[in-house]
Structure 1
């Protein structure tokens, strides 16, 4: 029997954008069975925009934030497969069919994720330009969770999940104004089996509008700082709870001799912390790793260290924080493989200095030079 697909579309004050999103849903080659819109107390023209469309189920609530809207929606939808869509993105026509087909065909599959491109509209010309996202990985099923630890490459509009899996995972965290979707996919991917498609299924809009709820809104320019702050609240307890075997995919562990696996897991922990902009904690993890085993770095460990400075959230603390610089110097003065680890991190950080020079940010460029030369 064919599964029913329920779309959940939470919205707040996006009257100028949500119509395009709804239209992209209605133009799917496989039209969803249900589109549930949770209007989270919009004070703009959103109700009038929603009234133009037939076939929507609209529930209007007091403004409590996106997580609360999603939790309410999950108690109301009737479908077997749940597709949560943001109110400012555009779904490509084949998205519903592409995401639902693997779940229809493989009973043991719990979620299916597609890819996305970022886009923006020039306010003067109306021209749309697209570009690759800041972070994307080609994740095999067993690698989705380890890859998600380094950055979110599975966005909700590109994700379809069995309703029973959302029920098992529990509600969205209402204390998170940002990254509540990231925290949920981490929860799901840690314990459930999914797959990532090679296809792009939606366009993720970049725009200058405000984010958040009525009581905790923020400007687009604060995005990275907000992400970093909320991700810190997510990742510190999560990393404390993770076993070494969860940090690395099985195929990566198999590449390593048993004596190096514990150290590699500690290197990965530092990589995750760094990419989530927790550099002091990352340096401490790498110092612990260096003290575990004096063997030169394995290729996998060098790759993880080289990725560490290149987060989509940026890395302002890396060059500017004196304690981070001192920690890296201490790492370089340890016995092997400490110097090799520090050299790999410095090499991978050079692009930050070049970027500062290109931007004419001479203060930051000078910080970067001090960072690279510190010994």
Structure 2
């Protein structure tokens, strides 16, 4: 999904002179500052920075009014900082800033990672069944590793409130949907989403585990290392990449991370993992190549997770229905931002039709017509 690079919108994201002064004070002087707007993703804004000979990344909220809790970049920075030495790959942090006098919003800077983010198509080097299985294995093993982290051991034992987490997630995304509806219902309404919200609120599991949860775990929020893996030497990485086992370089987009119900991560992750025979969905929101020979089914992904963690994915219709409902709410927020002129993304106007289709999919899952 590609964002337009309209200069007026980019000017709202960053004040280059102010950023230069901040970087000089924080990191020391450099002979050049170059910025590049990253044109993928749908959450916080990402800009690549060249500060002297350092390759950096700046993360900040989108311009304009948003539901604030959905774009908490300083929370994201805190989590990534806490996980620097954990058994989960994350980018190296550099600095964070809550002074809106610099670029008009909270932001942070991290080192830039290199590798493959699998979004619309698989890399050629993974285009064989044996590598596809390994990609899926690394992907599911990493979320299992996240759920096995002891929050206290990494200084995140005060992050969020795990009791009542699932109930609050339903309330939160229902509230954000209603925030979006305040504007979008002037164009068209999606009453089925309110019906699904009521069903979710009435069907929360009575008990669930408490772990660290990512909050937005999906295939295009991880980066696979160049050939040879993240710890390989340059010579090893330069060898035939197709003969290298896929390894995850970094997990991104931690702004929704908290302590809560790990099954919520699974329900969200599975929204983006199609099975052969699934109904076609207009607009290719989901990576259709995942049905090729070698990639596991949703059920097989869950089986591996259960083997890795010892947990069982009970109440999967609830969690998968919530995953689609959450996506529909997020997409409706994008549609409001488009209608109000606070986004410059060519996909946002398409949400007028996509959100009703997502509501239909959530309904199919809750009624059992799209099984695990």
Same fold by TM (over 0.5)? no
TM-score class, shorter-chain normalisation, is: 0.3 to 0.5
For the pair shown, which has the larger CA radius of gyration, 1 or 2?
1
TM-score (norm 2): 0.33
Q: So what's the TM-score if we normalise by structure 1?
A: 0.32
